[in-house]
Every structure is written in structure tokens, then in C-alpha cells.
């Protein structure tokens, strides 16, 4: 039996090592499955992302689809990894990674299509304005072979021009140009005077359909207005990747060391499983073709921290079972069984937040939601199945001393509820400070919160100078040049502490103004073009983002309330948990208000992560209350809550430490990168607040609800 267990443990270690190898080096010459093979988003690979608004009313789906098709053809000239897609009914997004002259691309993409019919002497015979429609058709010829053609229909003026063109060019080619490039060169085989013509000889229906779409977009130009653009320098992206990976590695090592110190052999199994989890996570992102963004990397790091939570719950349960003088085998079996409900419920509520985030988010936020959701699913699988396999094998190969797993001594019951008014008062004071800061901010900044351009509209340019700029240098040398180049009399300049980076915020700039600003920075300060990142958002988009952020949080809270009520069969559990998470949201908002942290895209991701984390923490305590309720004295809600909190107190602290370690390392290592710093800081506050609220807010609230219920 021991021999089989040794073989099983060796095989398990080989599987873990193999997964790590694949995650690092991949399989085959294409390195399939490796971290290197993962598709990178614009914020990591560099490039340009732009959102266009179609101008006009009652724009047809065909016109929008044609616009997408032709813009895709345009961006393919710059990058084969580009993606163009519709957003809603009248918007088009274009993501083009790996490009350098982003401003030129922005200027090119928004131009309406120019379609011209020319003869062999380059004379324009008619334009796309004269084309009413173009459709792809297929059929069989007299020999029974498939034919793919494009049928054209002209307006009255175009019919006359085309009749003259076919009469003058009979037997010769007519060249069809789109954006200065030949897209078709049919030979005139007859004089066409009825306003309808066909282009023959397509090799496939797809080819015919593409040509028809190209002609239609020339016939029906869709005027596009730039709503939002984001230009990222590749070098800046590489810095973000390096910092994030370093943070993830350091955080993982610290978490594993903490687990081994606290949980001994159980901690060793957790360390092995965490390494396996991180490797499988990277492989899965590759296989599912998820585009990895900067928030996505943060999502991976966060999910690693949260994956430890499941192991902490399990190991705490095992220690409790061992403290009741059960055998090691029975304790492991019982520990996993009793921990399952809390793990599943906690992860599903966090999954709800990630689904809402994916549904309502765009671009990088969808990437964050994808990685977080994938991480949650994988963490449940690895913690409940793989951890159990590894832990059982370690026990069977000889690690059978109970002391190697830790034994929970008798739990000391703390009277948490005795000072519930104090806990409530502390929260009210902190939230009140945040609320008082709002009108102060309004008076000094013009807004109640420090809305970044993503929420207020404008252009933000992040530039890396060759040396650190002092406040006086920014004011005396940089500001006047920025104002002159952009036409903004009062640009905001903010240096990134400890780096050579400066954030320049202005009103919304057009392409020419962005180019002028880039030219000034390059000519006057010898800045590297690849280290200039700019982002523009129109007020239309920013107002929608504010609305979507509020709706996303509200929907997450509603769905969580419904789920918890169903699972616990008691609405007081759901109500208490939702109030606690609203408490955490207001606490984090107070920090944003007082410290004037920018409200941007990362704010939405951080908020919904906090929502999921807060609920997860509360559910662990509620799960213990639900379990103890069956054995406690009927009606003794105070004793029930105090005992349940005391039982889970160590677990709550330990799981907060592990998650805190991951995010804190991300904050420290990525401090010089605004996107990482602004994402990590509210999460740190949220983790601390979530731990506090699950112990001192959610459970006392449940007690008050039950006491009121009891009186009624």
C-alpha cells in the first residue's frame, strides 16, 4: 500500500512539474501552452485601440457590418493580430497591437471609404456615390460548375455614366479602386445600359461577398467620429509585464512560506497545488485564447491569493477535527466535507461579480473578468480535488503524526457582540469622513471625486522623460510647451513618484493636437516615441462608464442577495451580507475621496473584486453559524454568533494575510506603474475592510435581524 502511494506521489509531482514546464516552455516549435504564447492586449504589447461612433440616424446593420469589414481590411495592413468589432448598434471598436505610428493609424481609420471606377488611362469614370447596391450571388453555369459573382445596381446618373464607360471601354478592363488600391479589374464584355451589371470570376462566395461589401461601403460612406482612443508604447507595456510577473512570483513564494509555517504538512501540499494552479492558469489562458491585459495579470495574481482561501478553510477544518481526537484519515475526510459548502458558496458569489464585470465591461476589464472567472473555477477544482489527492498521498507515504498537521486547541469564545455599537460607530465615522470630503473636493477640484478622463472625458498622456523632472521644471519648461501644442490653457501635470514618468492631462485632443504634443516632447526633451502613451475618451463614453459602474455593482449585489437567500434559506443572511459589502464599498469610496485617488477603469474592476471578496468572507462565517445553529441552544443567537466568529477568526485572519500578501507585493513592485498602483491600493483597503466587516458588521447585523424577528 505504501509502495503504491509513493508511486502515486511521484506521478503527481511529475504532473505538477510537467505543467510548470509547459507553462514556461510550451509544447512544440510554436510553444503552445506557454506564457510566452499568450496573446497580449494593447496595454502590454503596445499599439492603439479606438472606438468610433457612426454619425446619423437609422443606420442599417448592413452599413455597420460593411464599415467593420472595411476597417478590418485597413487595420490588417498594420497588424495581423488586430481585431475590429461592433459595440452596440452604432459603434465600432478597433484594437491594433504592436504598431508604432499610432497617430497616423488613428487618422487613417476614420476616413470614409473612397470608391472609384477608372479606365486604363486612370480616368475616373464614376464613383461609389453612384452605386445603389452590391450583392454576392452564387449559381451553376451551363457546364454545371459553381460560379460566384457580384451584382451591381447603379442610380440614374450612375447608369448613364456606366453605359458610356462600357461603350468606350468595350473589350478592355475597368479598374475598381478602394482607398487607392485596386480591388477588382473586370473586363467589359458588353455595353450595359440598364443600370445593372455583374462581375464574374470570383473563386469563392467569401471572395465575392468581400468585394460586394467593399463596393457597398464606398457607395454608402459611414461617417465615423472618434469617441475614445488609447495609444500605448510597447516599452511601457514590457515594464508592466515584468513588474507584474515579479510581483506574482514574490507573492507566490511568500504565500507558500506562510502556509508551510502555519499549516506544516498541509501547507506543503498547498504549496505544491498552488504551483500547479498557477501553471494550469497560464496554460488555460493560452488554450482558451484569452487576451491578457494589465488588469488581467492583476486578476491572476488576485485569484492566486484567493485560491489560498479555500485551502485555509480546509486546513482549519482538519485542525479542528484533529482537536476532537479523531484519526488523521477521518479528520482529512471530514475537513474536506465540512469545508465544501463554504468554498462553493464563497466562490460562486465572487463568480457572479466576475460575470457581471465581463457582461458590462469593455476591453481590459473583460480580460480581468475572464482571468478572475477562470481562476475561481480552477481554484475550486484544485482545492477540493487536487489538494485532497496530494494531502492523502503525503499521509499514506509516512507523514502520519498529527502534530505535523497542527491540532486546534479548544476555541476561546470572544464576546464580539458586546461592543457591536463600537464597531458600527467606527465604520460610520470612517464613512462620514469620506462623505465630508466630497463637497470639499467639489470646491477645490470641481468634482466630488477625482474622476480620471475615463469618467470625465479628455486626453491623458503618460511620458517617460530621460531624467526625473522636478516640480519647477514641469511648471517652467514643460507646461508652457504643452499648453501651446494642445491649445489647453491649463493642462494638469503630475509626476510619478520615484520615476521619470509624468502624466499630462488635458481636454480632449484630436489627432493633430496629439501629434503636435508628441513632436514637442520628442524635439524639446529627446523623449523616446515608444515611451509616450496617450488615451482619449469623449464625455459621452465617460458618462456611460459612470452609469455602467453603478449598475454593475447594483446587479452584483442583487444577484448575490438572491443566491445567498436561496442557499441559506433565510433572507437575513443575504441582507446582512449585502449590507456588509455596501459598507466595504463606502469605506473604499471614502479612501478614494480623502486621498483623491483617480476614478478610472481599474476602479470598476477593483470595486467588483471587493464585492466578491467581501461576500466570500461573510459567507465563511455565515456557513459556520448555519452549521452551529443545529446544535446550539434554541434562541441563543448571541452565543451562536460569538462562538461561530471565534471558530472562524483564525481562518479569517490567515486568508486575509495570504490575499493581502499577493496584492501588497503587486502594489510595492508596481508602484511606479500607475495602472498597477491604482488597482492594488483600493484592493488592499477592500481586503482589510472585508475582513473587518465579515467579523464586526455582517454577523452582528444578522444577530440584530434575528432578535427583531424573535420579538415579532
pLDDT of 538 over the 60 cut? yes
* Burial tier of 289 (Cβ tally within 10 Å: 0-12, 13-18, 19+): exposed
User: Do 669 and 613 share a structural domain?
Assistant: yes
Range of 510's domain?
Answer: 458-537
User: Which CATH number characterizes residue 102's domain?
Assistant: 3.30.70.3400
> In this predicted model, what pLDDT tens digit does every residue of 31-90 receive, in sequence order?
888 877 887 777 677 778 788 888 877 787 877 877 787 777 677 767 766 778 787 778
- Is 246 inside a domain boundary? yes
Q: Quick one: pLDDT at residue 207?
A: 87
Q: Which of 294, 248, 607 is nearest to 462 (CA)?
A: 294
The torsion of the CA quartet 258, 261, 266, 272, rounded to 10 degrees, works out to 50
Asked if 528 and 336 touch (Cβ cutoff 8 Å), the reply is no
User: Do 285 and 176 share a structural domain?
Assistant: no
4-12: average pLDDT? 89
> In this predicted model, what pLDDT tens digit does every residue of 161-216 receive, in sequence order?
989 999 988 889 999 888 778 888 888 888 888 888 888 888 888 888 888 877 77
- Is 445 inside a domain boundary? no
Q: Quick one: pLDDT at residue 276?
A: 93
Does residue 95 sit in helix, strand or coil? strand
- Is 268 inside a domain boundary? yes
Radius of gyration of the chain (CA): 31
Does residue 363 sit in helix, strand or coil? coil
CA atoms of 398 and 445, how far apart (whole Å): 65
CA atoms of 103 and 120, how far apart (whole Å): 35
Q: Which of 173, 202, 205 is nearest to 189 (CA)?
A: 173
> In this predicted model, what pLDDT tens digit does every residue of 228-260 receive, in sequence order?
777 766 555 667 677 777 888 888 899 899 999
Give the model's confidence band at 389: pLDDT under 50 very low, under 70 low, under 90 confident, else very high: very high
CA atoms of 687 and 692, how far apart (whole Å): 9
Angle subtended at Cα 87 by Cα 81 and Cα 88, rounded to the nearest 5 degrees: 160
Asked if 585 and 607 touch (Cβ cutoff 8 Å), the reply is yes
- Is 452 inside a domain boundary? no
> In this predicted model, what pLDDT tens digit does every residue of 453-480 receive, in sequence order?
767 778 888 888 888 888 778 888 888 8
User: Do 299 and 389 share a structural domain?
Assistant: yes
Output the CA torsion sign for 433, 612, 679, 507: negative
User: Which CATH number characterizes residue 472's domain?
Assistant: 3.30.70.100
pLDDT of 221 over the 80 cut? no
pLDDT of 112 over the 60 cut? no
* Percent of the chain whose predicted confidence (pLDDT) is above 70: 89
Asked if 226 and 536 touch (Cβ cutoff 8 Å), the reply is yes
CA atoms of 701 and 576, how far apart (whole Å): 6
Show which of 232, 267, 294 is a domain's final residue.
232
CA atoms of 67 and 342, how far apart (whole Å): 50
The better pLDDT of the pair 549, 385 is held by 385
Asked if 340 and 268 touch (Cβ cutoff 8 Å), the reply is no
Cβ-Cβ contacts under 8 Å for 374 (sequence gap 6 or more): 281, 284, 285, 288, 290, 303
User: Do 485 and 363 share a structural domain?
Assistant: no
User: Do 337 and 271 share a structural domain?
Assistant: yes
Angle subtended at Cα 126 by Cα 123 and Cα 130, rounded to the nearest 5 degrees: 170
User: Which CATH number characterizes residue 186's domain?
Assistant: 3.30.1360.200
Q: Are strands 175-178 and 115-118 parallel, antiparallel or unpaired?
A: antiparallel
User: Do 397 and 490 share a structural domain?
Assistant: no
583-619 burial, b if ≥16 CB within 10 A, otherwise e? bbbbbbbbbbbbeebbbbbbbbbbbbbbbbbbbbbbb
CA atoms of 392 and 269, how far apart (whole Å): 9
User: Do 245 and 212 share a structural domain?
Assistant: no
pLDDT of 493 over the 90 cut? no
Please report how many Cα atoms fall inside a 13 Å half-sphere around the Cα of residue 700, on the Cβ side. Answer: 17
User: Do 133 and 57 share a structural domain?
Assistant: no
Q: Quick one: pLDDT at residue 675?
A: 66
For residue 341, the tally of other CB atoms under 10 A from its CB is 15
Element holding 684 (H helix, E strand):
helix 674-693
Element holding 458 (H helix, E strand):
strand 458-464
Q: Quick one: pLDDT at residue 362?
A: 59
C-alpha to C-alpha distances, 213 to 135, 138, 152, 552, nearest whole angstrom? 8, 15, 11, 37
User: Do 508 and 533 share a structural domain?
Assistant: yes
Q: Quick one: pLDDT at residue 557?
A: 78
Asked if 217 and 66 touch (Cβ cutoff 8 Å), the reply is yes
CA atoms of 40 and 49, how far apart (whole Å): 13
- Is 28 inside a domain boundary? yes
- Is 70 inside a domain boundary? yes
Cβ-Cβ contacts under 8 Å for 651 (sequence gap 6 or more): 312, 313, 316, 620
C-alpha to C-alpha distances, 619 to 316, 339, 704, nearest whole angstrom? 16, 12, 17
C-alpha to C-alpha distances, 686 to 321, 376, 407, 581, 612, nearest whole angstrom? 32, 18, 31, 10, 10
C-alpha to C-alpha distances, 350 to 23, 195, 353, 692, nearest whole angstrom? 26, 61, 5, 18
User: Do 531 and 552 share a structural domain?
Assistant: no
Greatest CA span in the chain, whole angstroms? Answer: 102
User: Which CATH number characterizes residue 318's domain?
Assistant: 1.20.1640.10
Cβ-Cβ contacts under 8 Å for 641 (sequence gap 6 or more): 416, 417, 625, 699, 700, 702, 703
User: Do 585 and 630 share a structural domain?
Assistant: yes
User: Do 10 and 100 share a structural domain?
Assistant: no
Angle between helices 539-568 and 328-360 (to 10 degrees): 150
Q: Which of 199-213, 566-580, 629-643 has the lowest mean pLDDT?
A: 629-643
- Is 442 inside a domain boundary? no
**How many folded domains does the chain comprise?**
5
Q: Quick one: pLDDT at residue 100?
A: 65
* Burial tier of 56 (Cβ tally within 10 Å: 0-12, 13-18, 19+): exposed
Show which of 157, 192, 221 is a domain's final residue.
221
* Edge-to-edge strand ranges of the sheet holding 131-140: 131-140, 146-154, 196-202
Q: Quick one: pLDDT at residue 220?
A: 46
Give the model's confidence band at 19: pLDDT under 50 very low, under 70 low, under 90 confident, else very high: very high
- Is 144 inside a domain boundary? yes
> In this predicted model, what pLDDT tens digit does every residue of 656-707 receive, in sequence order?
888 888 888 888 887 777 667 777 888 888 888 888 998 899 989 998 988 8
* Residue 88 main-chain phi, psi, to 5 deg: 70, -150
Output the CA torsion sign for 186, 187, 189, 195: positive
Asked if 233 and 184 touch (Cβ cutoff 8 Å), the reply is no
Cβ-Cβ contacts under 8 Å for 601 (sequence gap 6 or more): 295, 364, 365, 454, 545
Amino acid at each position: 500500500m505504501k509502495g503504491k502511494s509513493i508511486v502515486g506521489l511521484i506521478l503527481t509531482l511529475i504532473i505538477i512539474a510537467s505543467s510548470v514546464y509547459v507553462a514556461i516552455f510550451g509544447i512544440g516549435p510554436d510553444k503552445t501552452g506557454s506564457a510566452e504564447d499568450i496573446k497580449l492586449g494593447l496595454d502590454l504589447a503596445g499599439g492603439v485601440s479606438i472606438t468610433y461612433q457612426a454619425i446619423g440616424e437609422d443606420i442599417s446593420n448592413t452599413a455597420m457590418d460593411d464599415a467593420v469589414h472595411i476597417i478590418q481590411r485597413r487595420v490588417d495592413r498594420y497588424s495581423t493580430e488586430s481585431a475590429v468589432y461592433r459595440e452596440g448598434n452604432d459603434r465600432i471598436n478597433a484594437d491594433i497591437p504592436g504598431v508604432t505610428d499610432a497617430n497616423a493609424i488613428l487618422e487613417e481609420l476614420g476616413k470614409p471609404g473612397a470608391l472609384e471606377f477608372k479606365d486604363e488611362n486612370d480616368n475616373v469614370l464614376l464613383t461609389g456615390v453612384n452605386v445603389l447596391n452590391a450583392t454576392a450571388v452564387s449559381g451553376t453555369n451551363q457546364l454545371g460548375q459553381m460560379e460566384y459573382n457580384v451584382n451591381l445596381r447603379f442610380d440614374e446618373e450612375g447608369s448613364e455614366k456606366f453605359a458610356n464607360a462600357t461603350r468606350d471601354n468595350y473589350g478592355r478592363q475597368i479598374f475598381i479602386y478602394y482607398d487607392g488600391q485596386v480591388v477588382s479589374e473586370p473586363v467589359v464584355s458588353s455595353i450595359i445600359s440598364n443600370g445593372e451589371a455583374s462581375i464574374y470570376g470570383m473563386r469563392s462566395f467569401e471572395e465575392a461577398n468581400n468585394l460586394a461589401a467593399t463596393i457597398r461601403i464606398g457607395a454608402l460612406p459611414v461617417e465615423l467620429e472618434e469617441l475614445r482612443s488609447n495609444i500605448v508604447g510597447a516599452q511601457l507595456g514590457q515594464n508592466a509585464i515584468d513588474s507584474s510577473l515579479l510581483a506574482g512570483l514574490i507573492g507566490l513564494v511568500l504565500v507558500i512560506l506562510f502556509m508551510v509555517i502555519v499549516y506544516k504538512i498541509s501547507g506543503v501540499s498547498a504549496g505544491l497545488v498552488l504551483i500547479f494552479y498557477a501553471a494550469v492558469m497560464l496554460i488555460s489562458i493560452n488554450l482558451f485564447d484569452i487576451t491578457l491585459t494589465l488588469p488581467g495579470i492583476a486578476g491572476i495574481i488576485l485569484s492566486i491569493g484567493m485560491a489560498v482561501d479555500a485551502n485555509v478553510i480546509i486546513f482549519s477544518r482538519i485542525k479542528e477535527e484533529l482537536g476532537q481526537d479523531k484519526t488523521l484519515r477521518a479528520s482529512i475526510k471530514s475537513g474536506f466535507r465540512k469545508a465544501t459548502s463554504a468554498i462553493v458558496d464563497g466562490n460562486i458569489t465572487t463568480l457572479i461579480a466576475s460575470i457581471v464585470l465581463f457582461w458590462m465591461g469593455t476591453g481590459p476589464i473583460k480580460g480581468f473578468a475572464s482571468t478572475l472567472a477562470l481562476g475561481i473555477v480552477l481554484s475550486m477544482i484544485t482545492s477540493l480535488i487536487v489538494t485532497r489527492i496530494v494531502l492523502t498521498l503525503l499521509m499514506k507515504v509516512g507523514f502520519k503524526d498529527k502534530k505535523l498537521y497542527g491540532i486546534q486547541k479548544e476555541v476561546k469564545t470572544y464576546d464580539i457582540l458586546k461592543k457591536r455599537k463600537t464597531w458600527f460607530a467606527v465604520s460610520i465615522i470612517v464613512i462620514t469622513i469620506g462623505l465630508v470630503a466630497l463637497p470639499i473636493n467639489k470646491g477645490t477640484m470641481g468634482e466630488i471625486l477625482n474622476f480620471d478622463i475615463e469618467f470625465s472625458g479628455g486626453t491623458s498622456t503618460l511620458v517617460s522623460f530621460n531624467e526625473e523632472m522636478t516640480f519647477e521644471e514641469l511648471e517652467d519648461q514643460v507646461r508652457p510647451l504643452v499648453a501651446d501644442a494642445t491649445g489647453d490653457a491649463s493642462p494638469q501635470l503630475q509626476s510619478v513618484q520615484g520615476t521619470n514618468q509624468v502624466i499630462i492631462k488635458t481636454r480632449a485632443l484630436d489627432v493633430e493636437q496629439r501629434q503636435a504634443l508628441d513632436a514637442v516632447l520628442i524635439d524639446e526633451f529627446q523623449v523616446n516615441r515608444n515611451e509616450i502613451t496617450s488615451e482619449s475618451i469623449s464625455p459621452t463614453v465617460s458618462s456611460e462608464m459612470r452609469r455602467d459602474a453603478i449598475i454593475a455593482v447594483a446587479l452584483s449585489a442583487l444577484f448575490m442577495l438572491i443566491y445567498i437567500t436561496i442557499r441559506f434559506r433565510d433572507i437575513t443572511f443575504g441582507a446582512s451580507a449585502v449590507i456588509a459589502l455596501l459598507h466595504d464599498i463606502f469605506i473604499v469610496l471614502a479612501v478614494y475621496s480623502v486621498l483623491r485617488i483617480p476614478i478610472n477603469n481599474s476602479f470598476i474592476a477593483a470595486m467588483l473584486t471587493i464585492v466578491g471578496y467581501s461576500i466570500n468572507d461573510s459567507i465563511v462565517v455565515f456557513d459556520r453559524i448555519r452549521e452551529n445553529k443545529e446544535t446550539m441552544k434554541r434562541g441563543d443567537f448571541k452565543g451562536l454568533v460569538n462562538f461561530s466568529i471565534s471558530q472562524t477568526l483564525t481562518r479569517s485572519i490567515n486568508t486575509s494575510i495570504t490575499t493581502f500578501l499577493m496584492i501588497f507585493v503587486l502594489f510595492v513592485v508596481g508602484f511606479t506603474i500607475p495602472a498597477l498602483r491604482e488597482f492594488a491600493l483600493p484592493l488592499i483597503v477592500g481586503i482589510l475592510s472585508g475582513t473587518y466587516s465579515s467579523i464586526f458588521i455582517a454577523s452582528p447585523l444578522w444577530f440584530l435581524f434575528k432578535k427583531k424577528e424573535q420579538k415579532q
